[in-house]
Amino acid sequence: MSVRILALVGSLRTGSHNRQLAEAAAKHAPSGVDIELFEGLAEVPFYNEDTDVEGGVPAAAARLREVAGQADAFLLFSPEYNGTMPAVLKNAIDWLSRPYGAGAISGKPVAVVGTAFGQYGGVWAQDDARKSVGIAGAVVLEDVKLSIPGSVTRFADTHPADDAEVVTALTEVLGKVHSAASAAA
C-alpha cells in the first residue's frame, strides 16, 4: 500500500537544516512512501476561532486543511526555539485540530523528528510537538524519534541527504510511519 505522508517543517528559514532534513526524507523515501513537503506555513495566520467559521477560513489555512485531509500520516520536523517548538508548527497543529474531534489530523499517525544546534538535537521541542499534536487528536508514534544534535556544524558542509547515518535513521523512521499508516487504513 502506498502511503502519503505530509511533512510540516517548523522552520521558515531558507537554509533551514530541518527543511533539508525533510528534503532528505523525501529524496530517500522507500518504495510505497510518498512525501509531500507543505509549502506555505508562513502564510497561515494565527489560529482564531472568530475566523474559523464557514466562509471565513483564510485561504492559506483552508489549503493546509485540504492537503492534510489527503494525507495518510504526518511527519513533523521541529527545530528548537527557546526550549520549545516554533510558533509556526504549533499554529499548523491548531488549525489542523479543528473542528474539534474531526480535524484533518484526527486519528492519523504522526511522528516528530528534527535537528537543532544544541547537544540534544531539539528533544524538548519535539516532545512538546508530540504532546500538542496528541491532544489535537493525532495518533502520536511515541517510539519513532530522531533528534540530531549539532546541526550548525554537522550540516555546515554536508546536506542531510548526503549523510549516511542520517539517511539510515530517516529510512527507519519512514518505515515505521508507513507501517502505522498501513495498519490504520
Domain 3-184, CATH number (from 1.10.20.10, 3.40.50.360, 3.40.50.2300, 3.40.50.800): 3.40.50.360
Query: What pLDDT sits at residue 185?
Result: 81
Query: What pLDDT sits at residue 48?
Result: 97
Q: Give the separation between CA 178 and CA 152, rounded to whole angstroms.
A: 30
- Phi, psi (deg, nearest 5) at residue 72: -90, -25
Query: What pLDDT sits at residue 1?
Result: 75
| Structural domain boundaries in the chain | 3-184
Contacts of residue 92, Cβ cutoff 8 Å, sequence gap at least 6? 8, 41, 44, 64
Query: What pLDDT sits at residue 100?
Result: 87
Contacts of residue 151, Cβ cutoff 8 Å, sequence gap at least 6? 17, 79, 115, 116, 117, 121
Q: What is the mean pLDDT of each run of 10 residues along the chain (185 residues)?
A: 95 96 97 96 97 96 98 98 96 96 95 95 97 98 96 95 97 97 91
Mean pLDDT across the chain, nearest whole number? 96
